[in-house]
Amino acid sequence: MINDNKETKICKRCGRELPLDKFGINNGYIRSFCKDCNNKYHRGYRHAKRMQANIEMYNTDISMQIQRKYKHINSSRILTKAVSGINYIARGEKFVSLFDYKNAWISSYGRIIIKDNEGYKLLKGSYSRKDKELYYILDKNVYFKTKKKWGYKKVKVKASDLVIQTFIVNYDMQNNTMVWHTDNNIKDNYYKRLYPVTELQYEAIKKMYDNTGTVSEEQIMRIVNSVEYKYKGWNPQCFKRTYEGKGYLGTNNVDCKSPEFYRWTNMVQRCYNKKIHKYKPYYKDKSVCEEWLNFANFRIWYREHIIEGAKVDLDKDILCQGNKVYSPETCVFVEHYINTVFEDRSTKRRIVENKEKQYETYMTVLNKNISFGTFNTKEEAEKGYVTGKKDYILKLADSCKGKVQDCLYNAMVNWNVEVRN
């Protein structure tokens, strides 16, 4: 439609009256749709085509789909009945330390033990009127920017969240905001009966349960992996394992120049890049846990634990001696010098016989010699080295108290020199 004397046309798609130069020409005829609408149509078509291809890729690539997995618990984190004196409610119950909380252990059944001046005791929780879930009040170790030191603040934490965090592999922490309890029994917090899910997945599982009275694990996992129940904005391309064949972004919102992205790519590369292994062979047997192969998961942990402006290393084996896996249960940020003291490859152990036939004992850290004394026999020198390094670590820990997370301080105080040397 060309208006009289105006050289305009009304777009049949958006209804706007626009100058003719806002329309394309096809075989000498002015198009019915304006250029803006035409571009939007083609962009939408291309996007839909790409999405369909990505969905087909997702449906055929098993590595992109979620598996039901449980975490390996390091034995050093387990509180035994012999130590706590607290009876188990079932065979196989485990109490595992919570690094971010003060003297607290979470059970595989959702119970919590804390330790105070009177010893070990079960912590009493309370059920919320809103969601009927069990909650605890715990002291969380946090960094206070105004004081520039680590301390504690009381927080309310859901029992099922702590159980999932400790015992279950959560592939998508950013979007799994709900918890499905087997048989919809909210008071049952046994880890094998909990499922971290999105809101849409929770609604689909609950609907199936309400209709049939039961939902099997197979049915739950089918819903979890179904494209139909993915969250709004889900993009299968973000779950393609594109980094060293292992890592994936897990989100559309990624700043590739951010410090957390640099840390993540560096961590994945050092574990899985064969070129790096040629000049750093000590990383060949190291790995990244399933949760942290998702960058979005790593970013959540990073932002909660990093101190802005701090120059620190991401260490994986101070909290758990001999550990070879990067994970939220084993990693901590630590100053480079402190980290180096605990690294075998960086800390050189020296016992040297001098002209007087005595044995001088010292360690070298960043090209600095730290003497532990002179001994008459090699056996005495060996023991002197262990004692000397232990004392050095204790003094180092004391100088760091309040400046580092308490879990790092405790790991330093309890460090077994003989294990690593």
pLDDT 10s digits, 169-181: 999 999 999 999 9
> What pLDDT is attached to residue 133?
97
pLDDT at 6: 63
Q: Using 70 as the pLDDT threshold, list the residues of the chain that sit under it.
A: 1-6, 42-47, 345-348, 419-421
Can you name the residues that pair with 139 across neighbouring β-strands?
154
Contact 327, 292 (CB under 8 A): yes
CATH number of 75-227: 3.90.75.20
Question: Rg of the chain's alpha carbons, rounded to an integer?
Answer: 29
Q: What is the pTM of this model?
A: 0.85
Per the structure block, which two tokens stand in for 296?
Answer: 């979005």
pLDDT given for residue 398 in this prediction: 96
Six-digit token pair at 203?
A: 């609604």
Give pLDDT, residue 347: 60
Q: How far apart are CA 244 and CA 261, in angstroms?
A: 15
| Cα separation, 336 vs 398, whole angstroms | 17
CA–CA separation, 187 and 181 (whole Å): 8
Domain ranges in the chain? 8-60, 75-227, 239-420
Per-residue confidence (pLDDT) for residue 266, from 0 to 100 = 97
**Tokens 């046309």 identify what position?**
9
Question: What would the two tokens of residue 341 be?
Answer: 């003291």
